[in-house]
Structure 1
Amino acid sequence: MNCKSVFLGLSFLLFSFAAMAQNKKGSLEIVKDPMIDLLQQSRIVFNNTLTEDEPEVRNEKGTRGTALGFRIQIFSGSSRNEAYAIQSRFQQRYGDISTYITYTQPNYRVKVGDFRSRSEAQSFMAELKKSYPSVFLFTEQIYVYY
């Protein structure tokens, strides 16, 4: 057997397989757990509550939406217990102002208020400096009622 005949034989096999692969039509069957659809739907609902396209929430204050505004940070530290204690003390003193605890490793942060204007936030921040020495003003998405 010479190289030419081996080459021709291999070429013939290669081209025949390529031709057969092009002529085959297949079907695709997707098998998935029905819980995947449920999980996707709940994730869509959760993500929509965090955007401006959120469904309207009505309560005694009015319709809730989000806007760019200001919050005051009154605590930042690694102690979870201290963060919740500071939040509790703040709520006892200022019950009508919302508080928010976030965790970004390694720190817990306690932020307060949903202020639409910087001047409103700064005037409240001046009052808070008496009780909370290290306060900071942040611009972020806040909840507004209209």
Structure 2
Amino acid sequence: MNYFKYLVLSTFLLIGIAGCSASEKTVSDDQKGPQEEYTISEEENSYLSDYRSRLSDTYANRENVIPQNFQRIRTQQQERDLYEGYRVQIYSGEEVSRADMVAAKFRQWADSTFTGYQPETYVFFRTPYYRVHVGDFHDRDRALALSNMIKKIYEDAWVVYDRVTPEKVPADSIRISTQ
């Protein structure tokens, strides 16, 4: 039995060695025969340069045609949803009594501080917090300006996207300032 295993193993070994050997001799890549130089005449060179292209030439004469419908300049303004806008959030917490107190204190402070615009206060619940928002603005920059004035008293005030009451949005001509 050992003899049979030895015979099978040696047969596989011989087949493996025979399979790895080269069947042909390698040819040297170094050919040292005479090399002929080829030169292009001036006439052939000018002929070839007429038909050669450069990468920059490919799109040099190409012009994109833009349809008339896309060339028209829009003069219509898109309709704007008057209920979309920004408010300033001055409180967010779990206690309704604290939210009501913050809103009342803000109203009292705003009545004595702001000129030109009296921001309305809104207390509402969005799970899991009660929030106090003030003001109604369509323009985020105007809401930021109010937020910067409010931050003197309420450091955590920040502008939030919200549904606004269009009637309470101040006109663009109204200047909001503090006394």
Q: TM-score, normalised by structure 2?
A: 0.43
Q: Does 1:121 align with 2:143?
A: yes
Runs of 4+ in 1 over 2 A off after TM superposition: none
Provide the aligned C-alpha RMSD in A. Answer: 1.8
**Higher RCO, 1 vs 2 (CA within 8 Å, ≥6 residues apart):** 1
Tell me the distance in 1 between the aligned counterparts of 2:162 and 2:155: 22
After superposition, where does 1:39-50 map in structure 2 within 5 Å?
Answer: none
**Alignment correspondent of 2:105:** 89
**Alignment correspondent of 1:52:** none
Q: Does 1:108 align with 2:108?
A: no
Q: Does 1:80 align with 2:131?
A: no
Aligned residues: 82
CA shift in 2, pair 1:130/1:100, >3 Å? same
Tell me the distance in 1 between the aligned counterparts of 2:122 and 2:107: 11
After TM superposition, give the deviation of residue 84 of structure 1 in Å.
0.4
Deviations 1:16-61, CA, capped at 9 Å, x for gaps: xxxxxxxxxxxxxxxxxxxxxxxxxxxxxxxxxxxxxxxxxxxxxx
What's the secondary structure of 1:94's corresponding residue? helix
Q: Work out the percentage of aligned pairs sharing the same amino acid.
A: 29
- Which of the two has greater strand per residue? 1
After superposition, where does 1:57-72 map in structure 2 within 5 Å?
Answer: 66-72=82-88
After TM superposition, give the deviation of residue 106 of structure 1 in Å.
2.3
Tell me the distance in 2 between the aligned counterparts of 1:104 and 1:117: 24
After TM superposition, give the deviation of residue 67 of structure 1 in Å.
2.1
Q: TM-score, normalised by structure 1?
A: 0.52
**Alignment correspondent of 1:130:** 152
After TM superposition, give the deviation of residue 140 of structure 1 in Å.
1.8
**Alignment correspondent of 2:165:** 143
* Structure 2: unaligned runs, 5 residues or longer: 1-80, 112-117, 172-179
